[in-house]
Structure 1
Amino acid sequence: MSASRVFVARLAGCTVFDPAGDRVGKVRDVLVVYRKSDPPKVVGLIVEIPGKRRVFLPIGRVTSIGSGQIITTGLINVRRFEQRGGEVRVIAEMLGRKVLFNDGSGLATVEDVAIEETAQGAWAISQLFVRRPRTSASPFAKGPTAFTTWGEVREKLTAGEAQSAEQLIATYSDLKPADLANTLLDLPKTRMYEVAGELSDDRLADVLEEMPERDQVGILTTLGDARAADVLDHMQPDDAADLIAQLPEERGEQLLDLMEPEEAEDVRFLLSYAPDTAGGLMTTEPIIVSADATVAEGLALIRRHDLAPALGAAICVTLPPFEPPTGRFLGMVHFQRMLRYPPHERLGTLLDAGLEPVTADTSAAEVSRILASYDLVSVPVVDDNHHLVGVVTIDDVLDYLLPDDWRSQDGNDDVRRRAAARITLATGSIPLPGGTDEKSPVPGGRRRGRGTS
């Protein structure tokens, strides 16, 4: 090994390579088992491989740890990781845990754990980095830190006391929402709900948008109504509408009443459309400008850090007002087209004349065909008076086409086959076996479940 002592929090996100130098995946946690008298023994790493699948890498197959990377023997079982009884995940379950010093000097919180090589290919916990309670009344003060060995402390186990999730959240602060969602889904349910409850409203909103609906509902039911409404306010309106549609009608109405009026209005508007139509798939927050806006102004709007990439691919041009439902829809200007013109050019002169909007009652299958046929990232949606009411983006369509359980079965061949079948049927690429008409709408269930108006 190139390092004899490593702090686990620093291992999170480290790249794992095989002996040939090819990237295998990234470390997401370290797995240990407790022993009667000796410090916990490291049994392996939890590694995320392509496809967001978490697999187990035995510590004996790790040949080198150092310089932010891990080298393996190249032999990895790609079976999805399942935690066994007696196994403990250091980052997910040990960080943030309370411990008592055996000398009676008080309580501390585990902030990091050092593992050390004890023999060739054998590792164990050697040190804990802990923080004692703060001694100052200042809200900005932090308690003193210390290094201690496993034998100098014991865990504080109090029935009914929730384990702190703050350290776990800090460790995963740099994860993208999809990766953090995947991390939470790997935790035991009670731990997942605890960590979700500690996330900020906007961070939790981003994470919920990346989760299967059953887990979204599970987390939302653990939140009080006021907190749940605040989280829904931070979600994209179409995602919030999908989630509310899965709740009992009474609670859904309660949450809508508690949401910000403007956000609730967008969600109610989306809930009025059938789930398998453009209106049911669209988002009501595209970039909308007047025909007199310049290329410089359009590019400035696209640069917003909180804007989804699919929404930044094109700008909608309408007559006033510029909030859905807008004035008459004039057209869209694609991002690449703006880059070809000087900053002072008016967007009204750069409209894509060949792009026709769809109506809110256009079937989802037809929207899918349009996006696929014309290589579009988004398509505008108008009402009967040609007023812009929203846009359907490619990620909305993918959520529709993929099977309901695609998030929870990452990398599963059966999921890919079913997804391919639905995409083929929706886009009309080839006729399906059994004489199915290539123009038939997409059959069966879907991710969204709200009813028609």
Structure 2
Amino acid sequence: MAADQIYAFRVTRLPLLDAGGSPIGQIEDLVAIPGRPAQRGRPAEAPRIVGFVANSQRRRIFVNANRIGELNSDGVRLKSWDVDLNPFKPRPGEVLIKAELIDRRIGDEMVSDIALVEATDGTSTRWEIDKVRLARRGGIGRRPTYRLADTSEVPGLFDNPTAMEAEAARLRDIHPAEVAAVVRALPDAQRRQLAHAMDDERLADVLEELPEEEQVRIVEGLDRERLVGVFDEMEFDDLADLLGQMSKAQQERMLDVMDDDDQAVLRLLLSFEEGTAGGLMTPEVVILGPTATVAEALAEIRKPDWVVSIATQVFVCQAPYKSPTGRFLGVVHMQRLLREPPSMELRHLVEVCPTVAPDTSDRHVAEELASYDLLAVAVCDSAGRFLGAVTVDDVIDRMLGTEWRKRHRPANRTSTP
């Protein structure tokens, strides 16, 4: 392949390779997002590739461009071994190059291919759209003629329904804390537009990085169907913090969109006073029984939905295994799991660990975490039943106070639109 340019149509003929170089699928398409025009002293940004659509194990999946280690004539090679096999779903603001751009007519010409170039900012590498290859049919008996056009010559090619949909697509791979900084810089009307353009999972992640009063303003503008989807993606402790900023009438409206089980969990969390272990805890942790095996535990903590502070340990309890559980037995840390045979049962590995009561102050919870070098501490009731866990990140949030998110600006913060 050419060192400077690579054509999209050729990429769609390449295999998808795992980190070791073995084929695991076939590239079918490329997912692009529009660039930004130059404004307010900020240089223009070219349209770029955010990922690849591949067929793997009879599934059409999305492979994030950030996970690509190498793209050459051998194929598109992943940086790591894990593969997200969730079905690919197009998002607003994105465009499929092969399915939507190739063969599109522009005046008396037709798009025959898209030329990409590799670009770097010193810390990361990305693929940008450099040229559009246009074809014009010749007369009778004549071959078509081709020319390379700058993207600025075909501005309608990457147009999107709304500016905020395009912005949501551009922010897709940015850390939620950085996206929250972008959201905070927007007027209320544009915040709502951007929130509407994000999918449920992305909006939930961003909401969790915003101060609660700003979360409330965004959530109040969502309809019932959207609330169901967003709340389903949020952590229970973050949801409890959000609802805690609302009036009783607002709380009931929000609780009404949840199923009975989720309502019960939220009502329990809201019953604890602010600044206590009960008010800080999350019931969504890795809970297994004493006869579960190391293999089962590793399979559970390997799930990508678990945050780091939760996935580092398994809480072992007697049945039932949903909060409030049976008697709490202790924890098994991930490092221990990695050292033991897969068939060993957790009852042989349980470590007795400190616990706190639901009414324990957040200050004392912080002291327990620091004293025992824990990432999470168990919260148990007077009968020894496991209710949930307080993670170190939630304690840090509490210790920093309510204003820190407003002051915080990530070092590599994305520019506002």
Band of TM-score, shorter chain: 0.5 to 0.7
Partner of 2:138: none
Does the 8 Å CA contact 2:94/2:169 hold for their aligned counterparts? Answer: no
Look up the SS of the partner of 1:210 in the other structure: coil
Does the 8 Å CA contact 1:229/1:255 hold for their aligned counterparts? Answer: no
Structure 2 CA distance for partners of 1:373 and 1:147, relative to 1, 3 Å: same
Partner of 2:322: 323
> Which residue, 372, 379, 398 being the options, matches 1:374?
372
Partner of 2:399: 401
- Asked if 1:345 corresponds to 2:352, the answer is no
Partner of 1:32: 38
Shift of 1:263: 1.7
Aligned letter for 1:393?
T
After superposition, residues 54-133 of structure 1 pair within 5 angstroms as: none
Report Cα offsets for 1:180-205 as digits up to 9, x if no partner: 22232233332222011121112211
Aligned letter for 1:403?
G
**Could you tell me how far apart the structure 1 residues matched to 2:401 and 2:303 are?**
32
Aligned letter for 1:251?
Q
Aligned letter for 2:313?
A
Aligned letter for 2:209?
E
> Which residue, 344, 360, 366 being the options, matches 1:362?
360
Shift of 1:33: 4.3
Q: For this pair of structures, how many residues does the alignment match?
A: 292
**Could you tell me how far apart the structure 2 residues matched to 1:338 and 1:356 are?**
20
Shift of 1:95: 11
Partner of 1:250: 249
Look up the SS of the partner of 2:303 in the other structure: coil
Partner of 2:389: 391
Structure 2 CA distance for partners of 1:33 and 1:347, relative to 1, 3 Å: closer
After superposition, residues 264-275 of structure 1 pair within 5 angstroms as: 264-275=263-274
Report Cα offsets for 1:107-154 as digits up to 9, x if no partner: xxxxxxxxxxxxxxxxxxxx999xxxxxxxxxxxxxxxx978879989
**Could you tell me how far apart the structure 2 residues matched to 1:299 and 1:214 are?**
38
Does the 8 Å CA contact 1:293/1:347 hold for their aligned counterparts? Answer: yes
Structure 2 CA distance for partners of 1:349 and 1:150, relative to 1, 3 Å: closer
Q: TM-score, normalised by structure 1?
A: 0.57
Look up the SS of the partner of 1:247 in the other structure: coil
Partner of 2:220: 221
Does the 8 Å CA contact 1:287/1:311 hold for their aligned counterparts? Answer: yes
**Could you tell me how far apart the structure 1 residues matched to 2:207 and 2:151 are?**
38
**Could you tell me how far apart the structure 1 residues matched to 2:150 and 2:298 are?**
54
**Could you tell me how far apart the structure 2 residues matched to 1:178 and 1:151 are?**
35
Shift of 1:404: 1.2
**Could you tell me how far apart the structure 1 residues matched to 2:152 and 2:294 are?**
62
Shift of 1:172: 2.1
Aligned letter for 2:214?
D
Does the 8 Å CA contact 1:327/1:387 hold for their aligned counterparts? Answer: yes
Shift of 1:211: 1.0
Look up the SS of the partner of 1:389 in the other structure: strand
Partner of 2:296: 297
- Asked if 1:231 corresponds to 2:230, the answer is yes
**Could you tell me how far apart the structure 2 residues matched to 1:286 and 1:149 are?**
48
After superposition, residues 408-427 of structure 1 pair within 5 angstroms as: 408-410=406-408
**Could you tell me how far apart the structure 1 residues matched to 2:404 and 2:213 are?**
12
- 5+ unaligned residues in a row in structure 1: which ranges? 4-28, 35-41, 47-93, 97-104, 106-126, 130-145, 155-161, 413-453
Partner of 1:189: 188
**Could you tell me how far apart the structure 1 residues matched to 2:299 and 2:153 are?**
58
- 5+ unaligned residues in a row in structure 2: which ranges? 5-34, 46-92, 96-106, 108-129, 133-147, 411-417
Look up the SS of the partner of 1:204 in the other structure: helix
**Could you tell me how far apart the structure 2 residues matched to 1:231 and 1:152 are?**
37
Aligned letter for 1:171?
R
Shift of 1:256: 0.3
Does the 8 Å CA contact 1:233/1:263 hold for their aligned counterparts? Answer: no
Look up the SS of the partner of 2:220 in the other structure: helix
After superposition, residues 156-235 of structure 1 pair within 5 angstroms as: 163-235=162-234
**Could you tell me how far apart the structure 1 residues matched to 2:39 and 2:390 are?**
49
Does the 8 Å CA contact 2:227/2:257 hold for their aligned counterparts? Answer: no
Aligned letter for 1:384?
S
Structure 2 CA distance for partners of 1:147 and 1:285, relative to 1, 3 Å: same
**Could you tell me how far apart the structure 2 residues matched to 1:317 and 1:153 are?**
58
Look up the SS of the partner of 1:222 in the other structure: coil
Shift of 1:366: 0.5
Shift of 1:216: 0.7
**Could you tell me how far apart the structure 2 residues matched to 1:351 and 1:95 are?**
48
**Could you tell me how far apart the structure 1 residues matched to 2:131 and 2:257 are?**
44
**Could you tell me how far apart the structure 2 residues matched to 1:386 and 1:252 are?**
30
Shift of 1:337: 1.4
Look up the SS of the partner of 1:286 in the other structure: coil
Name the Cα RMSD after superposition. Answer: 3.9
**Could you tell me how far apart the structure 1 residues matched to 2:374 and 2:276 are?**
18
Does the 8 Å CA contact 1:128/1:150 hold for their aligned counterparts? Answer: no
When structure 1 is superposed on structure 2, of 258-267 and 269-278 the one drifting more is 258-267
Structure 2 CA distance for partners of 1:404 and 1:153, relative to 1, 3 Å: same
**Could you tell me how far apart the structure 2 residues matched to 1:242 and 1:217 are?**
10
Does the 8 Å CA contact 2:192/2:218 hold for their aligned counterparts? Answer: yes
Aligned letter for 1:380?
A
Does the 8 Å CA contact 1:230/1:259 hold for their aligned counterparts? Answer: no
- Asked if 1:308 corresponds to 2:311, the answer is no
Aligned letter for 2:210?
M
Shift of 1:217: 1.1
Q: TM-score, normalised by structure 2?
A: 0.61
